[in-house]
Amino acid sequence: MSEPGALPAGVERRVIDGRERLATRGEAVYGEPTDGPWRAWDPNRSKLGAMLESGMDTGLEGGETVLYLGAASGTTVSHVADVADATYAVEFAPRPARDLLEVAEGRPRLFPLLKDARQPETYAHVVETDVDAIVQDVATRGQARVAVENRRFLADDGRLLLAVKARSEDVTRDPDEVFADVLTDLESAYEVLEERRLDDYHVDHLGVVARPR
Amino acid sequence: MNESERAEAGWFAAVDRDEPDSVRRALENGRADGPADWPRLAVEAGFAADEDAYYDSLHEATVTATRAAVTERERADDRQLVHAVRAMDDCRRTANELAERLAEWAGTLEAEAGTGLEYARVLAARDPEPHESAVVSLAGRVVDLADEADDLHALVERLAPTVAPNLSALAGPVLAARLVSLAGGLESLAKKPSGTIQVLGAEDALFAHLRGHAPSPKHGIIFTHDAVRGTRREDRGSAARAVAGKLAIAARVDHYAGDYRPELETELTERIETIQARAGGADGADDGGNDE
């Protein structure tokens, strides 16, 4: 194991465009600032980026097999694929999936899937077992259930890296209450190791690191 | 379950590599209760020489199949919706016109003839006497058209939330479909400024205004939105502007992002409540959610 809170191999803090930022090596995809092969990882556009930036211990070391739920346009996925090995990217909406395809074109170990993360049986015939990490950022109600349902893919010593969006559960409730409920619902399948508000980068979001029970 | 039975459930099991469609079908329609060590099973089943080769095949297969699925879903949906809502309006308008004709005709045959679609249903169900067979036959066509319009209405309600989830949540499926139809597609709606969306469907009034002999229209088709119609006359311009603004954002989210954002609805409700509160609870704001 690496030391707690360490960045995964392949993610570095580098000065790009006059400011120290997280960066990975790979093909640029969304107009982010670059320095040679390095491309800045903007924590304001990526919840996983925000979790790393705020020092959460993600347990990632680089070279993992990853299942990414809620890949959207592939902003975060592109960085994950830069440092991970096989990366399965699940996205349900066709429009963002089109951008995700552009990201996947240049990354031979990134596998885009147009699937609903709430129905893992529709992609269990493609996604392999015992993945090292599940990264989840789905803007739908029932975020805890999605994580629990997808537990079947995760290795027993793997990590769930979850960004909870309070507004997706219930816009009218106090985010703290929503987060408490989500954490309770997670308990049937996961042990929560760390949780932190990501408000510096994403309003009303909670970052969670958990491991399977 | 033994190893070869497990491998049967993998996406690669039934794939004929010379036929791209079989790859897509396998990825799209396949199912399995749980994952397995697919890379190893695929190599053992002779699908790939080693894991690297397997991942290369998987990459090519997922990119190709996802691209085909994305293209198909994007292409199909908003045009289907436009045709469905236009056909629905045509059926309904024609049914109503014919029902009027029918009432006029039937009035010459019997004293207590009714009017409208309801009367057409009564007539159509009748066992006709010889002198009224033509009228009853026509009534049957009118009822069929009205039923067709109802079926199309159900289709629009089903399609609209998949094509434009946010727009449908804010405007209701039918108004969402009409806006997409008036703009000529979701993409062109997403590219229109909110001021244009506000007066979509009021083109006659708008051009009369631009020619200089009429006031500017406050609203077009969005008048059918509860938040506009339920606001008193003096504040309807503000309400229409607020609704059009949020609908413009919703259309852009639907076209460019595609995910559902419930906060848009909350923001609109709050804004409309503020506007309707100007009336001080006096009048005209009874069906727009002004409960406080």
On whether residue A32 sits in a domain, the answer given is no
Distance from CA of A32 to the nearest CA of B (A): 19
- pLDDT 10s digits, A147-182: 999 999 999 999 999 999 998 888 788 999 999 999
Assign domain B77-163 to a CATH class.
Answer: mainly alpha
pLDDT tens for each residue of B184-215:
999 999 999 999 999 999 888 888 888 888 88
A111 and B62: CB-CB below 8 Å? yes
Per-residue pLDDT for A139 more than 90?
no
Q: Which residue of B has its CA nearest to A70?
A: B259
Residue B4 has pLDDT above 80, yes or no: no
Q: Which residue ranges make up each domain of chain B?
A: 3-74, 77-163, 164-292
Confidence of residue B216 (pLDDT cuts 50, 70, 90): confident
Residue in B37, B70, B170, B270 to test binding to A, most A beta-carbons within 10 Å: B70
**Overall domain count for chain A:** 1
Q: What is the pLDDT of residue B290?
A: 38
Whether A192 is in a domain gets the answer yes
Chain A interface disruption, residue of B1, B29, B59, most A CBs within 10 A: B59
Q: Residue A94 and residue B263: Cβ atoms within 8 Å?
A: no
Is A123 inside a domain boundary? yes
A134: left (phi over 0), alpha (psi -120 to 50) or beta: beta
Q: Is residue A98 part of a domain?
A: yes
Any idea which fold B164-292 has? Serum Albumin; Chain A, Domain 1 (1.10.246)
How much is the average pLDDT of B140-167? 93
Q: How confident is the model at residue B1 (pLDDT cuts 50, 70, 90)?
A: low
pLDDT single digits (tens) A78-136: 999 999 999 999 998 888 899 999 999 999 999 999 999 999 999 999 999 999 999 99
Lowest mean pLDDT among A191-200, B62-71, B74-83: B74-83
Report the pLDDT averaged over residues B156-173. 92
The CATH number of whichever domain residue A194 belongs to comes to: 3.40.50.150
In a domain, A141, yes or no: yes
Q: Do the domain assignments include residue A148?
A: yes
| Percentage, residues of chain B above pLDDT 90 | 60
Domain assignment of residue A107, yes or no: yes
Please give the residue of chain B at the shortest CA–CA distance from A114: B66
The chain B residues in contact with chain A (CB within 8 A) are: 9-11, 26-28, 30-39, 55-56, 58-59, 62-63, 66-67, 69-70, 73-74, 254-263, 265-266
Three-state secondary structure of chain B: CCHHHHHHCCCCCCCCCCCHHHHHHHHHHCCCCCCCCHHHHHHHCCCCCCHHHHHHHHHHHHHHHHHHHHHHHHHHHHHHHHHHHHHHHHHHHHHHHHHHHHHHHHHHHCCCCCCHHHHHHHHHCCCCCHHHHHHHHHHHHHHHHHHHHHHHHHHHHHHHHHHCHHHHHHHCHHHHHHHHHHHCCHHHHHCCCHHHHHHCCCHHHHHHHHCCCCCCCCCCHHHHCHHHHCCCHHHHHHHHHHHHHHHHHHHHHHHHHCCCCCHHHHHHHHHHHHHHHCCCCCCCCCCCCCCC
pLDDT tens per residue across span A18-48: 899 999 999 998 889 999 999 999 999 999 9
Query: What domain range is A126 assigned to?
Result: 42-212
Chain A's closest residue to B8, CA to CA, is A125
**Closest CA of chain A from B52, distance in Å:** 9
Residue A204 forms part of a structural domain: yes
Best residue in B40, B51, B66, B79 for a mutation probing chain A (most A CBs within 10 Å): B66
ipTM: 0.93
In angstroms, the separation between the Cα of residue A38 and the nearest Cα of chain B is 24
